[in-house]
Amino acid sequence: MTTAATAPAPLDEALPRIRDILARFAPGAGERDLAFEHPDALIQELADAGFGRLRVPVEFGGFDVDLPTLFALLVEAGAADSNIPQIWRGHFTTTEILRAETDPVVREHWFRRIGEGAVFGNAQSEPSALVAEAALAEGESSGWGVTTTEARVGADGVRVVSGTKFYSTGARYADFLRVAVVDDEGARGFVVIPARHPGVTHADDWDGIGQRQTGSGTTYFEDVPVEEHGDIGRYKESLRGLDSFVQIVHLANLTGIARSIVAETAGIVRARTRTSLHALTQHAAEDPDILSVLGVLETRRLTAETLLRHVAEQLEAAHAAGDESAYTRAYLDTSGAQIAVIEAVLDAATRAFDAGGSSTVRNTVHLDRHWRNARTLASHNPVIYKPRVLGDFLLNGTAPVPGYYRQRPSVTDSVADGAR
């Protein structure tokens, strides 16, 4: 997706172009959902407009926006088409890792590439059958953290990646993939590989009920070379706050869906020419029961937007403070927001049908896609565990262990090992 480098426009010049492209996503979102049609050209336009450079430092051609600004723009994107934030989630996760990257050479190398237009995709998850098989082989009771995709040194001394990844979101749109691998010594980490190498095969086999145009699916790697400076996020210090960040991307997307639900439902009501037999008026826009439905939808949107703003500011503050207690607080607040936002948006996606009558269940109205997309997003990082995490901290002071810290050393551990 990389294009010829041009002088970067300042943010106030880039934003109108980005918003114009988002506006062109919205009218076709429902039809693309029905047709399983991917918005390849529009995603390319977003990349060319600088969407992927939002968190890149200015010295590397980026806009260096803060987290509240990033997530506010992702809400706009999610309102236009909820596939957009999901497609870019792996990319923005990569830029977050690079912002805290402990190796300055690696950091500069990749920020310059992204500043020139490069787009990253995600390849972390693995098919459950492979994970379960590997877990049993290693004597683990759980497949969490087990990685079967290998980065090994070939006969020519070049490291190559081989394996299979499932739900590799955004891979079809990307120039590079950030792949979770295990090396020859059993250490787990991320490496960067070229997304268009002949050894990379993308299968468009994602069969979820929602988020159908995210480019998700299975990706196969066969002896794909690791890029120069391809080790990123090796240490815990590069991953601080990342668990919160990746979840807040989902919350921004859900908030965008809530915003779209309100707008589309209001449009449906305005266009109605009749109401129910039991309605107090034959004008839908004056029906007090239908007006109440719209009012509830608006409160659900407000709930989502308010909580999103809070957790975005919390994570920004944690970065400024730089201590683990601040990151723990941000994670706990994000977990609480996840519970409430998911409940609010799924409720809104269901109640919206009460405002439109039986005609709203038609495929051509596309109202059902909001529930399907929200339900799909809500199933990532399962919310059922979050109330317990919060309760355990409140009663017992048990701080949650960030998932990205698992099997990752710290810089101080590395220095200590080198000193022995």
Q: Which residue has the higher pLDDT, 419 or 252?
A: 252
Q: Which residue has the higher pLDDT, 205 or 278?
A: 205
Q: Report the candidate in 99, 101, 1, 11 with the shortest Cα–Cα distance to residue 62.
A: 11
Q: Which CATH architecture has domain 240-405?
A: Up-down Bundle (1.20)
Kindly state the tokens that stand for 13. Answer: 């010049």
Q: Is the pLDDT of residue 259 over 90?
A: yes
User: With contact defined as beta carbons under 8 Å apart, do 290 and 284 qualify?
Assistant: yes
Q: What is the mean pLDDT of residues 104-114?
A: 98
Q: What is the mean pLDDT of residues 352-379?
A: 93
User: With contact defined as beta carbons under 8 Å apart, do 171 and 121 qualify?
Assistant: yes
pLDDT at 139: 53
- In this structure, how many other beta carbons lie within 10 angstroms of the beta carbon of residue 137? 10
Identify residue 381 by its one-letter amino acid code: N
Q: What is the mean pLDDT of residues 67-88?
A: 98
Q: Is the pLDDT of residue 365 over 60?
A: yes
pLDDT confidence of 273, banded at 50, 70, 90? confident
Q: Report the candidate in 16, 13, 36 with the shortest Cα–Cα distance to residue 24.
A: 16
pTM of the entire structure?
0.93
User: With contact defined as beta carbons under 8 Å apart, do 192 and 230 qualify?
Assistant: yes
Angle, alpha carbons 41-47-51 (nearest 5°): 130
Helix 83-99 to helix 40-49 angle (10° resolution) is 40
Structure confidence by residue, pLDDT tens digits, 3-27? 544 555 689 999 999 999 999 999 9
Q: Which residue has the higher pLDDT, 297 or 140?
A: 297
The Cα–Cα gap between 17 and 27 comes to 17
Q: What percent of the chain has pLDDT over 70?
A: 91
Q: Is the pLDDT of residue 415 over 90?
A: no
Kindly state the tokens that stand for 419. Answer: 């000193």
How far lies 199's CA from each of 152, 274, 392, in Å? 15, 58, 46
pLDDT at 277: 72
Domain ranges in the chain?
Answer: 11-119, 128-233, 240-405
User: With contact defined as beta carbons under 8 Å apart, do 147 and 181 qualify?
Assistant: yes
User: With contact defined as beta carbons under 8 Å apart, do 100 and 237 qualify?
Assistant: yes
Q: What is the mean pLDDT of residues 27-43?
A: 95
Fold for 128-233, please state it. Butyryl-CoA Dehydrogenase, subunit A; domain 2 (2.40.110)
Structure confidence by residue, pLDDT tens digits, 198-225? 999 999 999 999 999 999 999 999 999 9
Q: Which residues pair with 189 in a beta bridge?
A: 181
Q: What is the dihedral of CA 405, 407, 408, 413, to 10 degrees?
A: 120
pLDDT confidence of 420, banded at 50, 70, 90? very low
pLDDT at 403: 85
pLDDT confidence of 404, banded at 50, 70, 90? confident
Q: Is the pLDDT of residue 80 over 80?
A: yes
Q: What is the mean pLDDT of the chain?
A: 91
The Cα–Cα gap between 244 and 221 comes to 29
Q: Is the pLDDT of residue 112 over 60?
A: yes
On whether the 11-119 domain is CATH 1.10.540.10, my answer is yes
Structure confidence by residue, pLDDT tens digits, 260-272? 999 999 999 998 8
Q: What is the mean pLDDT of residues 44-54?
A: 98
Sign of the alpha-carbon dihedral angle for 357, 363, 368, 370 = negative
pLDDT confidence of 359, banded at 50, 70, 90? confident
